Each structure stands twice: as C-alpha cells, then as structure tokens.
Structure 1
Amino acid sequence: MCAEACRVVLLSPLDIHFSQTRIRPDFQDGRSLEDTQANIQVTDLKAVQEFEDLSESELPGELLLVAPFPSIEVTKWRCKFRDENGAPRLDPDTGLDLYSKEESWFSFDNRRLCCLQRAAVAKWPLQARCEVVEVPHNLARTRELRKFDTRTFGKTVLVGSRDMPDPACWSWRAAVGQPEEPPPDTGVAMQPGVRWRGMRAGAPGSGRGGAEGGPGHQLSGRRLSMKNREERRRWSRKNHEDEEDESSPIKVIWRNVLLFLMVYFGLRLGVSLFRRHQDPPIGAVNATFSNASVPVLLVLKSPTHLSQLERLEVSGADEEVKAWET
C-alpha cells in the first residue's frame, strides 16, 4: 500500500487505536497472537536515534519493541460515530455523518497492534515505543470504507472468530488497571471526504514534518526503503493482512448475480448435452430400417386412393408386397 511518501516514525502502541471492531485470534499461518507477542523483543530506545518520536505521551520513551513482523501502518484521521449495531450516526440537523472533533492515530494492521499493545502492557509503567509506517491521507482514503468499522473509537477490540458467541475484549487500560476513557459526547457533521481536506504536510495537528521532499519531511522520518516494502508485501501475502475485510454490498450483489448466471448456463448446457446424447442420430435410425424386418403402414395420400392401405414387409434382398383394399 505504501509508496515513496510513506515514512517511519516512533509511536507508543497505546496511542494507536484499532480500526476494526473484531479481530481473529491468530494469523493465517496458524500462529496465535500470544505466540507472536512472545517473540517481540525489547531493547533500549536510546540506541535508536534515526526516527522522530510522535507519541502523545508526556513521558519520554524508554524501551523499543522489536517485533518479528513488519512495522504496522498507521494514519491520523477523524473517527466516524457509530451506534451499537455499527450503523453511522447522523447529525439531526444536517443529516450528515458525525465524526470526532480530534484526529487520532489508527492502525490498518489490528492483530499486530494487539500484539504490540500486550507487549507494551507487560513492561508497564515503562514507556515503550515501536516503529510504525505513517500512511499519507491520500493513500489512506482508499482503504477507509473497507477497513474502518470500529464502534468504540478504536479503544477496545474483540478477539475471536465470527462464530464465537463470547469473544474476549482487549483493552490496554483495563489491563493496567486504568479506567476506560469515555467516548466523545459531541462530534462534527461533515461529508466523508471533507475530513481529509487541508491536512497537508506540515499543517497543525497533521503529525507530519513538512511537504514531501522538504526539510521537515527529511528530518522527521525516513521514507520506507525498498527492502522494507518487499518485506511488508511478503508478510501481507502470507498472512492475508486484510483480516476481517468486508466486501461492500454492491460487490456482494454482483458476485451473487455472476454466480447465479454461471450455475444457470452450466445447467442449461448440461441438459442440452444430455438430450443430444439420449436421442439417436438420424443415420442410425435409417440403418435400422434398412437392415431389419420392419412392418410399415403407409397411408396413400392420393385423393383417389384415400381408402387403400398397403403393408410392406422388407427383409434383406427379398421384398414382398401385399396390398389390401378396404
């Protein structure tokens, strides 16, 4: 997903929000979240001077989490208000969608984020950081509708498969004994694309150092190298990092229509071939009549002989004709 504009920065996993309501308890290769978390190593953050620390915590970072998977992708955006059923909440006056007033960090890689948060909680109250890939807004928009469906503003996430009746709820605040942060009471009514306008590099609150290629951009982080991009692609293909991706209703309808048409025409073709196989060829019928003794009744169609019937018996080379007049 990332192009040249992506950059690597430092964030606390506890500052990053989940973009989905539910995640699976394991990766596609069979590794569980617990096993993956156990492979996350911890090192001294002072040894890392290459990246800018954009964490919202007032306390300085002390530890760096080194994960066995590629760095997670994050972006800053306004979260859409949703009810308990997942439907967007609308402004009663304008009928537009409601969004949070403040922007927050959200992750596209929710299972990996859960592993990082658990590793950070294990070192609490020490402040941990991790390397993340900041995705620009113009690239993040392409995955907005397909990926983001959180109903808790990304502060908690359900861990379990879809058929699990009682999935576990992960909350790092509950894990460290802190009270849950209440959701915002009021939001901002706007069209879906408006929240991305004006968030150019270097704008206040955008979390970016400067324009692409400018001094701020060069000093605040490192562009994603070709090696890291290849590593991310290999990991994503192996683990199907789209997690709980949901196709849009239009795609589902078109897929069902195409499936119906394929089944329908397949059945029609099968019936046609079956009937053709069951019906004997015309040549075979003629051969049967010519090589066997077959009684045939002929109705003379001449107007003067409508009352006459002839019975013909054909047997090999001998032919005898008997006619009766009625």
Structure 2
Amino acid sequence: MIDKLEEISNRFEEVSKLIVLPETMADMKNYAKLNKEYKDLEKVVSLYKKFKEVLGNIDNAKSIIATEKDPEFREMAKEELDEFNSEKKALEEKLKTLLIPKDPNDSKDVIMEIRAGTGGDEAAIFAGDLYRMYQRYVETNGLSMSLMDFTEGTSGGYKEIVVSVTGEDVYGKLKFESGVHRVQRVPATETQGRVHTSAATVAVLPEMDEVEVDINMNDVKKETYCSSGPGGQSVNTTYSAVRLTHIPTGVVAQCQDQKSQLKNFDKALNVLRSRIYEIELAKHNEEVGAARRSMVGSGDRSDKIRTYNYPQGRVTDHRINHTVYNLPTVMNGEIGDFIEKLRIADNAEKMKEGATA
C-alpha cells in the first residue's frame, strides 16, 4: 500500500506543476481534466501525510519505551503508543477505501429515465412521486436537473419521464438508483381500501461524449414534431421537438423541452449515446463474465431494488437489507442515507474482490 501511496504522492507533485503552466491554462479541456485529477489526488495525499506523521509518532513512542529509564515517562509513552496505533488503524481503513479503483463514470453527469411499470394508472402516479423525490434530492445536494422528455399518465404522474442531472460526481451519487422501485399502498382509484402493489423502473445512464461513443450519423434517422405540454397542449407551433432512431440497434431518443430544434437535437443525441453505451456495456459484461456477484451497483433496471410500503411507513432496500420507517422523509428527497450505505457496501465488495483476485 505504501508503494502505491508514494506513486500517488509523486503524481500529485507532477500535476501541481503542470496545472500552473501557461500552455495548460490555455487548453481549457486539458486544464479541467488536470484540475479534477488534482482534487482527487489531493484527498489521498492529504490523508497520506497524516498517516506518515502517525507512523513517525509510533516510532518515537517505541524509542522512548525502549530507552527511557523513568517508569512514569515509559508509561506515558505506552499510553500514547496505544492512541497512535488506533489512529493508524483508522487512517489505514480510510486510505484503503480511497485506493479502491473508482468507476471512471462516477464524475459524469447523468440521463435519468423513470418509467411506469406494472400497476396501470397507479404505476404512473408512483413514477411521478419518484420524479419529485429525485427533484428534492437534487435541490438539496447542489445539483441541477432539467426536463428532456415526458409522457403523462391518464390519471396523473408519468408513463415516462426523462431528465438530465448535472453537478459534481452525479453518476457516483445516483447510479445505485437504477432498477425496479416497488410501491405498496391504497391507490386513489381504489374504492374498497385494498393495498395494491405497483412498480416503476429507474435507469441512470452516464452522459457520454462523442469521443467515448462514436455514432455514424448516416445510421441515425431524424424526425421532428411539435412539442406538447401538460394535458397534451402544444407549447410550440414549430417542429422543434426531435426524435432520433439509431437504425442498427433500434434505440430511440427524443427531446422536446427546448424551443430550439438544434438544442433538442443535441440533447437527444446525448441520450442516444448514453443508451447505446449501456447496451454495449451490458454486452461486454456478459462476454467477459464481469457481472457483479451482488446486485449493489449493477444498475440492472430489471432488478427489484427498493420497496416503499405506505401502510407501514416503511422503505426497504433489498440489496443491503436496510429498512427505515420514515417514508414521508424519503419521498421528500432524503435518500442520502441509502446512497451512502450502498456506496459503503459496494466498496466493501470491491475490497473483497481485490483481496481474492
């Protein structure tokens, strides 16, 4: 571990020098890349400096115990040694976590798709509830959300809604939300008070740029149509909404939230890239047998990941068997506890896999 930390420390020094060069600052793309690397490395290097200080303190305490003749001094040194050893152990655990290889997509913005599943009108209403839950989470965590496309449900909510979320490490925060979300409650349309089970699927896709996913535009069919708003009303009389179909895969993406056809085209193309990337990644994982042993972080939209039980006020995440009894709070966007516990479980699994590799 020390060798790896020394490598990181040396790279940090190198990046620190590169980032202030005039030629680096003149190239904004390269500057942004180096700036992000600097921030990531700084976290590790800062902790490593503390770790080295503690190692030095341990050596000093051991030296005093071995050479000091005064029993009172030796006793004080022994007490200090116990404290330093505890601190060393805590820092080691933190450093091990920081050294776990990061998902290269964690820093990316995301396309989030929420779709009504089984349950008819109630599923669409629940999809709307999930959308509002994520809206609140985004608002309280310094992120930004913009609407890209939607189809309303006949009794409220959405049959499908697509949004983009931007900010710092968005995919790293939201990737664990991919999968089937199940709700158990008495629907507004239920006359006999029976509890129904409905579901909605969430897909969180990292936004890919054209360098990472190369699309031949000759393979893309473009269609334009008039944007529609809530209740089906037309919000734009021009053909500004854009629908793109990737002919080889059949993948479709559309966007209608902008008045400009060009802006809608760019956004739809981003969605198309992300969806094609998801297909290619699934194929790759299947071919190399890289599917994770646990569902944590798999992002498979067919897996049931969480149940929201309204009669009991209970929310359960099935991947980590974590249950809370504060459903109204969760639906108001406070899902950080689930995200953090899933991140810890994912890191623990990665560490275990690294140890057995």
Q: Please report the TM-score for the alignment, with normalisation by the length of structure 2.
A: 0.19
Q: Which has the higher helix share?
A: 2
Q: Which structure is richer in relative contact order (CA contacts within 8 A, separation 6 or more)?
A: 1
Q: Please report the TM-score for the alignment, with normalisation by the length of structure 1.
A: 0.20
